[in-house]
Chain A
């Protein structure tokens, strides 16, 4: 049997599908970025401050925190997604759809953010912490009110970088029926030999990435008073 590539784009048919896919992708990516980003920031602060010479220096605590990050990060997302299904079910009550994809995406975002935050804080000047402590600041105040603002510009750029990784993860979310642009490209493009649909999905992803980077650059420039 010969299958002919259709290579066509019909707004009446493909348009609503694309809109829905964009909606699903943004829902997944933003949820993972916001929830994972915030928890990851706290996790990263914990990593930073338990390091040798840190305010809460603890070889034991740092070892555990770091081990958990290293445990999750190397697992390919498609495998992680399916491996944590029992946990996903327990927490979201379902193993299908956007909800089910957000949970594992958030977990991966947390550990990725944690390392990112740790690295950026390590490269920030520890002198500001010493100055804050010398003025009588609590450890938490020195970390949250002084150190994080000092490292904000690289952190924002880091989050923009993370956005791409999360978008990448969301492409696999179709495997649990969460839809999204990745699923749209596979189901309506690749599986139906319709390359135009694939290209449209790719183009939309590129635009999303460019917008995220532009936003990140703009915000970073605003907070960088150099």
Chain B
């Protein structure tokens, strides 16, 4: 298996959650209020390896923001244990937590910059907390602003910056004390697509150049696709699926995951698209999921020497976890179509849609369509 850059084997976990739960009580006291309250995080166990970018994806209310706040103990867990870099977070007191937090940077959806301070003084704040001398602070702030490309904005106030610039300041501030972990809570959700890309590129640099482990909280699968190595999908406080991003995209096991993937990938034809394709292309339609061969996918190989013709009629190829990912819908025609399909099946996962005259609905295909319909 070709590992994406920065991907760890998981042998060296920097964050370990074991059976972690967090309840938010409803109004009232005692048991009854717990019953009426919310299980924001429900028995979650995860291992996040040093140096990886780990995504947590879910709809709002799925508990992902609470989950990430348990890691730096902005919220305290009600059950289970959390270990960060060898420290048991769930047993730390106020003093120990402050030391821990100096080693975990955090960026927020709404940036949470200090409006009364200049950009430079925002970035300087954690250094003051850490007791750095004035000269060292000044040098470090200059270095950080250089890294995020905002050296010319040092004396500006946050209100004078664009959303993307604000988040870059937020990232610079979060990295000030050289933390080993960065928590990004919906860091790009308040940004437009282009700015989102800039901020995600910056996060990738933080991961690759500085070796910072990043936990990315998002509701956008495209963010996971772009920056993450591993991902956990959350629904109703539970992690319903987690693993390698490529694996999750290639072979989703739950409805929730399918719905998220569908938002990021548009390469598979929906039922109405299939109907139109059949009108235009009466031949045999097959959806081929591209295998990650490392050499690309030779579409001519399957018809060479056969009396058959393959035409690409739908699909798309993109990158997931730094590996090529996608599917092509082909129309196969000619007397030896069946042989071509057999060759395809040997090389890649194929979903056979049959021909316009004799339509075929592969069971898995029908199921995944049904999932999408439910979305």
Which A residues fall within an 8 A CB radius of B? 125, 127-128, 130-138, 141, 146, 149-150, 152, 223, 225-226
* Chain A residues whose CB sits within 8 angstroms of the CB of B98 once the complex forms: 136-138
Is residue B112 contacting chain A, with contact meaning CB distance below 8 A?
yes
A173 vs B257: C-alpha distance in the bound complex, in angstroms?
A: 72
Give a binary string over B176-202; 1 marks a CB under 8 Å from any A CB, 0 the rest.
010000010000000000000000000
- Contacts of B46-91 to chain A: CB distance below 8 A: 72, 74
Counting chain B CB atoms within 10 Å of each CB, which of A127, A133, A134, A152 scores highest? A134
Determine the residue in chain B with the shortest Cβ distance to A226. Answer: B159
Partner of B125, one of A127, A130, A135, A226: A135
Are A134 and B104 within 8 A (Cβ)? yes
Nearest B residue to A139, CB-CB: B94
Q: Inside 8 A of A125's CB, which chain B residues have their CB? A: 110, 112
B112 touches A131 (CB 8 A): yes
When distances are taken between beta carbons in the complex, the residues of chain B under 8 Å from A135 are 101-102, 105-106, 125-126, 129, 173-174, 177
20 A-B pairs with C-beta separation under 8 A: A125-B110, A128-B113, A131-B112, A134-B104, A134-B105, A135-B105, A135-B129, A136-B98, A136-B99, A136-B101, A136-B129, A137-B98, A138-B98, A146-B114, A149-B117, A150-B115, A225-B115, A225-B116, A225-B157, A225-B160
Q: Is the CB of B116 within 8 A of A149?
A: yes
Closest chain A residue to B176, Cβ basis:
A135
* C-alpha spacing A128/B112, complex, angstroms: 5
Most A CB contacts (10 A, CB to CB) among B97, B98, B160, B177 go to: B98
**Cα distance, A223 to B159, chains bound together (Å):** 13
Chain A residues whose CB sits within 8 angstroms of the CB of B116 once the complex forms: 149-150, 152, 223, 225
Contact residues in A for B108 (Cβ distance below 8 Å): 127, 130-131
**Quick check: is B270 within 8 A (CB to CB) of the other chain?**
no
Picked from A130, A132, A136, the residue with its CB within 8 Å of the CB of B130 is: A136
Would you call A133 and B115 a contact (CB within 8 A)?
Answer: no
B117-148 contacts to A, CB under 8 A, are 117, 125-126, 129-130
Q: Are B112 and A150 in touch, CB under 8 angstroms?
A: no
Contacts of A132 in B (CB 8 A): 125
- Determine how close the nearest CB of chain A comes to the CB of B316; give it in whole angstroms: 38
Q: What is the CA–CA distance of A127 and B72 in the complex, to the nearest angstrom?
A: 15
With A134-B183, A135-B101, A136-B98 known, 19 other A-B pairs at CB within 8 A are A127-B110, A128-B113, A130-B74, A131-B106, A131-B112, A131-B173, A133-B74, A134-B104, A134-B106, A135-B106, A136-B102, A137-B129, A138-B94, A150-B114, A152-B116, A225-B115, A225-B116, A225-B157, A226-B157
Bound state CA distance, A199 and B125, in angstroms?
53
| Bound: A137/B112 CA distance, A | 14
Binary interface encoding of chain B residues 324-337 relative to chain A, with 1 for a CB under 8 A from any of its CBs, else 0: 00000000000000
Residues from chain A with a CB closer than 8 A to the CB of B74 are 130, 133-134
* A130 / chain B contacts, CB cutoff of 8 Å: 74, 108, 112
**Interchain CA distance A136-B102 in the complex, whole Å:** 5
* Chain A residue nearest to B109 in the complex (CB): A127
**Closest CB in chain B relative to A152 CB, distance in Å:** 6
Q: CA of A47 to CA of B112 in the docked complex: distance in angstroms?
A: 23
Interface centre among B101, B105, B177 (most CB of A within 10 A): B101
Contacts of B106 in A (CB 8 A): 131, 134-135
A146–B121 CA distance with the chains assembled, in angstroms: 11
By beta carbon, the residue of chain A nearest B110 is A127
Q: Is A225 in contact with B129, judged by CB distance below 8 angstroms?
A: no
Q: With a CB–CB cut-off of 8 A, which chain A residues contact B97? A: 136
**Minimal Cβ-Cβ distance residue in B for A148:** B116
Q: Which residue of A lies closest to B183 (CB)?
A: A134
A130–B177 CA distance with the chains assembled, in angstroms:
17
Chain A contacts of B112 at CB under 8 A? 125, 127-128, 130-131
B129 touches A141 (CB 8 A): yes
Contacts of B101 in A (CB 8 A): 133-136
Residues of B within 8 A of A146 (CB): 114, 125
Query: Which residues of chain A have C-beta atoms less than 8 A from B114's C-beta?
Result: 128, 131, 146, 149-150
Report chain A residues within 8 Å CB of B100: 136
Which residues on the B side are within 8 Å of A128 (C-beta)?
A: 112-115
Chain B nearest CB from A128 CB (Å) reads 6
Q: How far is the CA of A79 from the CA of B190 in the complex (A)?
A: 54
Pair A134/B72 contact, Cβ less than 8 Å:
yes
Give, as a whole number of angstroms, the nearest-CB distance from B340 to chain A.
57
B317 to chain A, nearest CB (A): 39
**In angstroms, how far is the closest chain A Cβ from the Cβ of B65?**
11
- CA gap between A223 and B104 in the complex, in Å: 31
Instruction: Report the bound CA distance from A44 to B183 in whole Å.
Output: 33
CB distance from B156 to the nearest CB of A (A): 9
For the complex formed, measure the closest distance between the CB of B2 and the CB atoms of chain A, giving whole angstroms.
36
CB distance from A127 to the nearest CB of B (A): 4
Residues from chain B with a CB closer than 8 A to the CB of A138 are 94, 98
Which A residues touch B115, using CB under 8 A? 128, 150, 225-226
Chain A residue at minimum C-beta to C-beta distance from B100: A136
- Find the residue from A135, A149, A152 having the highest chain B CB count within 10 A: A135
Q: Which residue of A lies closest to B122 (CB)?
A: A131
Q: How far is the CB of B124 from chain A (nearest CB, A)?
A: 11
CB neighbours (8 Å) of B183 from chain A are: 134
**Complex alpha-carbon distance, A75 and B294, angstroms:** 82
